[in-house]
Each structure stands twice: as structure tokens, then as C-alpha cells.
Chains A and B, each alone.
Chain A
């Protein structure tokens, strides 16, 4: 039961093989057993989860079940959930029990899904290793001496160790795709504007996007069907016709299901900088795609190399503005001692924020300050345009772009923690996708030394359905995505 994905669990619930209460309890027991090792969850509340599970079972008994009714899901602790401690990985919100639901949570609740707990993450989603959390580092189930990736590392570790069948994540510069790659999951960052940001604690508003993290493309499609949709409470939500992201997956397409698909291989993804053992697996996956009928074309993203520089101006600039709301007045942490109002702000923020968050706020404040705005912030936005234009050009020649998700497999805990620049460079393959606002996925493509590697798929705007199909066809002929780490008792 425990290795089944969302889709299979949904069938088991429908067939009354198991109730939501039993399934939820099964996961709660596993969390109690294995979370102390992994630190994937910040908050678990069995009573709340089981109450939701009971309600889900009643909904089903009444004949009102959806595909997700009774499915327990792990929610990244960046999504506000009413009555749940919602910390965003920060001391600043260590006392914040949310008085309202994020739109994403509202959608899952309405579908009858169960919140299994709130998952650990880099503080305010700023990081690539889930080591900056106030609640301690997340460990990778494939090797607990290594990072789970970040910032959605808790969600990734939870699903990988079978402490949840699927989870939510958010992706500002790679925070769904990179931990998915490092933990052997399938993760999808949708087109900017597809999933509502309402109640999703803001880091860099023009880049942040929520999405699913699961075992398979099929499961990601199921989750996205519930997560996506126009929301008037999010000023950048896109008003589009509701889609069924699963619609391509069931069709039988013969042994060349991807015939006619043009896969773009950007030379910038295949140069130096990627570990050879990861590149080998990516090349093998491309070979698999050729067998499925796809053809490959060489494309170029000449400005992609500038994405780290542009990102580390734009994201901190937006963060410095977004995080100014944490001032110790209306919610969150307030310093115990202070002289006056200004001192209260300065001490509350100094004590409530961790080092990496402060660093990014300072960068952002600097690049937005008088005399530097044009040279940094505007220049970064111009480069953002150049990067986005590269993709427009590339998608004239191909339907989907493929490359590595991360330049290496999971690195060791502490290996990059003291050197922010090294950490930032590990996002080299994912940042450009956020800057352009495109959808991107990471899917498992094999192992190097028992550590998983991820294949990144990038699509044109609103091509989630196609991306999911391209991922699904690969998962029909490979079994990387159904491999699980040892040591977490799969016999239940």
C-alpha cells in the first residue's frame, strides 16, 4: 500500500480497500517512526489530519468523492493553512498559527484531501539545500549524510521516504525541480500565473510559483488539476479556461508515442559544469526519448549563463520588499527587549531572520537603493528579457527542451553551507525557467553511486499537459521513478 502513488491510492479508496482514516493513520505512524531521522516535517497534528480523514470517508460514503478525496498530502510550510502553525522555515513565524487558508489549501480541502503535515524548507524558500531552516536541516532519504535539495526539501524527503504519497512545493529558482531531482521524484513548476499565490508566503513575487511533487507524472497531473485555476485574490493569476492536465496520459499511442516531437538540446546545458555521471544519465534518457519516436535538435540559450547574476538581483530585490512586512507589529516574532519603535523593528528582524534571509534582504535593499537601481535592478530586468527571448527563439525550433536539472547529485550536508556563491551556482540549470516564467519539470533518470539524478523538461508557456505527457511516456518505459531508498520499511 505504502509504495502506491496518488492515482493508485485513489482507486484503492474508491474500491473500499482502505479508508482514508486507515491510510492517514498508516502515514502518521511512518512519520512518527522516520521523521526524527529525516526532519522532513516541521508540524504534524494527528488529530487534525484524522478529523479531515473522517470527513473524507463520510464524503465518500455519501457518494461525493473526487479523485483526491481521502488522499493524505504533505503541504510545504509556505502555504498558510487555517489553524495550522505556518512557519515558512523561519523563527520569524515560529508562533504564527494561520487565521486563513491559502487558495491552494482551499482547493485541496474542497476536494476532500487530507493535510498530513507541514514540511520543512529553507527559510522563506531561500536556499537550495534545506539547510537554512530554523527547524534544522532536512536529510536526504537516499543518504542521510546528504542534502535533500531545496527549498522544498522537506516535501521531497517526505515523498521519497514514503512519509506521504505526494506533496506541494514552490519554485522561485528551482525549488521544486532541484529537490525532486536529488530525491528521485517527479516535480512540476507550472507556467507563472497558473497556480494562485494567495496565502503562499511571498519570496520573489514575479518568480514564485507553486506546484506538485510526486512519484509520477500521472500523479503530478492529478494534483495540478486541483491546484491550478484563476484566483481573483492573486493579482497575477491568469484567467484561463480550466484544463484537465491528465487528458493526454491515458491514450494508447503505440510504441512510438512521441513520434514527431522535437526535443531541443541547448548547448549551454551540455557544456562544462555538469558532473559527468549526471550527464551520462541525461544522455541515456535522451536515447530513450529517441526510441519513443522523438527527434532531437540543437538549440542555443546564449544568455542563460547570465541567469545567476540576474536572478540574484531580481529575487533579493523583491524579497527585500516582501519581507519588510515582518516588523514584529501585526504577527510573527517580536524581540523581547527594545528601546523604541525603530529599535523594535531592527532587533525583531535581526533575531527573527536567519543569515541567508538577512543576506538577501541586504542585497535587495542595496540594488534598489538610490544610485544603484539602474545599474543593477533595471539591468537585471533587461537581461531577464534577453533570457526569455532566447527561449522564444528556441521554441521556434523545438517543442520541449531537455537537459539536466542539477549539475550534480545530492551534495553533502554542510558542503556548500558556508559559501553562498557556490550554493547559488548549483541552480544554474533551473533559474532561467523562472525568469522567463515557463513551465518546467524534473523526472528521475537514473542513479550514480545510488544517488538519484533528475532530467529537466522545459516547455513553452501553458504546455503543462504536453510536458506531463512527455514525462509520462518516459515513465511508461523506465522504472527509475518507482525506485525507493532502503531503510524506510516498504513492507506495509
Chain B
């Protein structure tokens, strides 16, 4: 299998990573090399094998529905690129 330049651009868009034409070209070469390595998986018969998502195969633990965190908004917003009146600022989304 081999990716196309258009697929690289599409994946980069899905991942929200800007790529220049030159970068897309280099990335294409690297990704194809990596997928050639991954491809050996396809020859393996895994019929009836249960996918393993997690090392311990445990169910997600539930916790009581109560507040455990204190409000530390100021401390957390101190590391934000841009805030105002306790809100995170981003470019205007709706005109």
C-alpha cells in the first residue's frame, strides 16, 4: 500500500496540522516507509482473536458523583495564551 500526496494533505487537515507542499512531499516518503513496515501485519491470520485494548483487560472504574477538585481557575488560566474575565479567548467563530 502506498499513500498519495492528497491523502497526506487530508490527514494533515484532520489532525489540524498545517503542511507546506515541500513538507507534504517529505512526509509522504516517510509515511510510506513506515507503512511498508506496518504492512507485515496484514498477512497474519487473526480470525477469532479478541482485540486487546488494554494491558489488564479491566472495566473502567466508576467513582462517586461528587466534587473532588477545588476551583483553581486562576492558576490554570495563568498559563493560557489569552484570557479575559475568566474566559479563554479565541478568534471569532460566529459572525
Interface of A is mostly: helix
User: Can you list 14 A-B pairs with a CB-CB distance of less than 8 A?
Assistant: A97-B79, A99-B79, A238-B56, A310-B41, A312-B37, A324-B15, A328-B81, A340-B91, A349-B15, A379-B46, A382-B49, A385-B51, A386-B49, A419-B33
Q: What residue of chain B has the Cβ atom nearest to residue A334's Cβ?
A: B81
B42 touches A379 (CB 8 A): yes
Annotate B43-87 by CB proximity to A: 1 below 8 A, 0 otherwise.
Answer: 010100111111110101101000000001001101111100000
Task: Provide the bound-state CA to CA distance between A339 and B92, in Å.
Answer: 10
Chain A residues in 8 Å Cβ range of B61: 232, 235, 239
Chain B residues in 8 Å Cβ range of A491: none
A346 at the interface (CB under 8 A from B): yes
B14 at the interface (CB under 8 A from A): yes
B40 touches A362 (CB 8 A): no
Chain A residues in 8 Å Cβ range of B92: 340
Question: Known contacts A310-B41, A331-B80, A341-B93: does B56 contact A236 (CB below 8 Å)?
Answer: yes
Chain B residues in 8 Å Cβ range of A238: 56, 58
B41 touches A359 (CB 8 A): no
Chain B residues in 8 Å Cβ range of A383: 41, 44, 46
Least CB distance, A311 to chain B, in whole angstroms: 10
Task: Provide the bound-state CA to CA distance between A235 and B17, in Å.
Answer: 29
Question: Known contacts A378-B51, A382-B49: does B58 contact A349 (CB below 8 Å)?
Answer: no
A342 at the interface (CB under 8 A from B): yes
B11 touches A369 (CB 8 A): yes
**Residues of B in contact with A (beta carbons under 8 Å apart):** 3, 7-8, 11-19, 27, 30-31, 33-42, 44, 46, 49-56, 58, 60-61, 63, 72, 75-76, 78-82, 88, 90-93
**Residues of A in contact with B (beta carbons under 8 Å apart):** 95-100, 191-193, 206-207, 232, 235-236, 238-239, 303, 306, 308-310, 312-313, 320, 324, 327-334, 338-347, 349-350, 353, 358-359, 361-363, 365-366, 369, 375-376, 378-386, 388, 419-421, 424-425, 436-437
Chain B residues in 8 Å Cβ range of A353: 17
B41 touches A341 (CB 8 A): no
Q: What residue of chain A has the Cβ atom nearest to residue B14's Cβ?
A: A365
Q: A338-B91, A382-B51, A385-B52 are in contact. List 4 more A-B contacts (CB 8 A).
A: A333-B81, A346-B17, A353-B17, A376-B38
Chain A residues in 8 Å Cβ range of B19: 350
Q: What residue of chain A has the Cβ atom nearest to residue B74's Cβ?
A: A99
